[in-house]
């Protein structure tokens, strides 16, 4: 009951379904993560969402069952492909459409203007198209497909010491957003390295994107799968830490509460100033934030 209360679901909702009680895809993830820590080891997001009532979940608690993970069923549906086996055109379509249509920060740039949306989408495409060979070469990036072959997720990462430079002058619409993120990443890296001088090899998770055509309930589990596999790749390739910038509420919650990133720096978009001192995103709301995070892998 405490876990339900923490995510804003009243105790009196116990005989309702999760969504009828006010739940969402995002707090489904948070609730399952909290319940795992109290012994509900057989509960997954899919089970929570599909249960007729919350009481059914509580009555079927299995104290001694081995932990099966947050998305046990879904993990059998998702498969990782090296980036060279992924259709570049489909991947770039997913990334650009996801950011423009679903991005919680990108909206600050295009402000729902169709013309600006098209410009931003073209700039994302141009930027990633140029860097694509680099992402393939470094072997740290991948796609996620379902059993039917549908591409549902993309992750692009680099060794931070071997990262291709972004010429912001070629992407004027996106430049303020990417500059804000770059400043934040440089700041947290400086702070991190001052107290972790032994950490030299850092992987930069540049972006993850979920196919926007996938139903919303499944998007959370795909994003979790992507983020978790990023950590696996980092460990496999003997990186000591991972740096990432999360601009969406779902990825921010996954990083903080599920994957337990060790260091965080929260950037408020309405506080960002460009080189001339102008608050470019003064129209941003308080919830428009970017969470720069670092997770130790050693």
pLDDT at 274: 92
Domain with CATH 3.40.630.30 in the chain: 78-296
- Measured CA to CA, the distance from residue 31 to residue 14 in angstroms comes to 14
pLDDT at 149: 93
Give the CA-trace dihedral at 55, 77, 62, 39, to 10 degrees: -90
Secondary structure (3-state) at 1:
coil
pLDDT at 13: 60
Pairing of strands 289-296, 241-246: antiparallel
pLDDT at 46: 64
What's the half-sphere exposure (Cβ side, CA atoms, 13 Å) at 226? 30
Beta bridge partners of 142: 82, 155
> What residues have CB less than 8 Å from 148, skipping those under 6 apart?
none
- Measured CA to CA, the distance from residue 36 to residue 67 in angstroms comes to 8
In the block, residue with structure tokens 């249960």: 51
In the block, residue with structure tokens 């903080």: 256
Backbone angles phi, psi at 173, to 5 degrees: -70, -45
pLDDT digits (tens, 9 = 90+) for 98-149: 999 888 899 999 988 999 999 999 999 999 999 999 999 999 999 999 999 9
Domain 78-296: homologous superfamily in CATH:
Gcn5-related N-acetyltransferase (GNAT) (3.40.630.30)
Positions of the chain with pLDDT under 70: 1-14, 24-26, 36-42, 44-46, 49-50, 57-75, 217
pLDDT at 259: 85
pLDDT digits (tens, 9 = 90+) for 277-294: 999 999 999 999 999 999
- Measured CA to CA, the distance from residue 29 to residue 39 in angstroms comes to 16
Spatial contact of 181 and 244, defined as CB atoms under 8 Å apart = no
pLDDT at 77: 82
């Amino acid at each position: 009951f405490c876990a339900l209360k923490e995510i804003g679901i009243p105790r009196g909702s116990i005989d309702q379904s999760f969504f009828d009680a006010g739940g969402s895809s995002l707090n489904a993830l948070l609730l399952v993560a909290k319940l795992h820590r109290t012994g509900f080891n057989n509960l997954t997001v899919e089970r929570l969402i599909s249960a007729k009532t919350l009481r059914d979940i509580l009555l079927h608690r299995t104290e001694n069952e081995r932990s099966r993970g947050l998305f046990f069923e879904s993990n059998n549906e998702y498969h990782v492909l090296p980036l060279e086996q992924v259709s570049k055109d489909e991947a770039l379509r997913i990334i650009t459409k996801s950011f423009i249509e679903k991005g919680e920060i990108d909206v600050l740039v295009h402000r729902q203007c169709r013309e600006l949306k098209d410009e931003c989408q073209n700039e994302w495409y141009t930027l990633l198209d140029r860097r694509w060979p680099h992402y393939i070469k470094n072997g740290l990036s991948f796609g996620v497909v379902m059993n039917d072959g549908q591409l549902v997720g993309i992750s692009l990462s680099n060794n931070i010491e071997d990262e291709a430079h972004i010429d912001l002058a070629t992407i004027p619409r996106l430049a303020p957003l990417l500059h804000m993120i770059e400043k934040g990443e440089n700041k947290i890296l400086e702070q991190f390295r001052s107290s972790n001088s032994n950490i030299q090899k850092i992987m930069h998770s540049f972006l993850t994107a979920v196919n926007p055509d996938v139903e919303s309930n499944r998007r959370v589990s795909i994003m979790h799968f992507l983020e978790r596999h990023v950590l696996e790749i980092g460990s496999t390739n003997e990186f000591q830490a991972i740096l990432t910038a999360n601009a969406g509420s779902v990825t921010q919650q996954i990083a903080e509460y599920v994957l337990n990133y060790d260091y965080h720096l929260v950037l408020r978009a309405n506080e960002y100033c460009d080189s001339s001192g102008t608050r470019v995103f003064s129209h941003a709301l308080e919830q428009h934030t970017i969470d720069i995070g670092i997770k130790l892998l050693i």
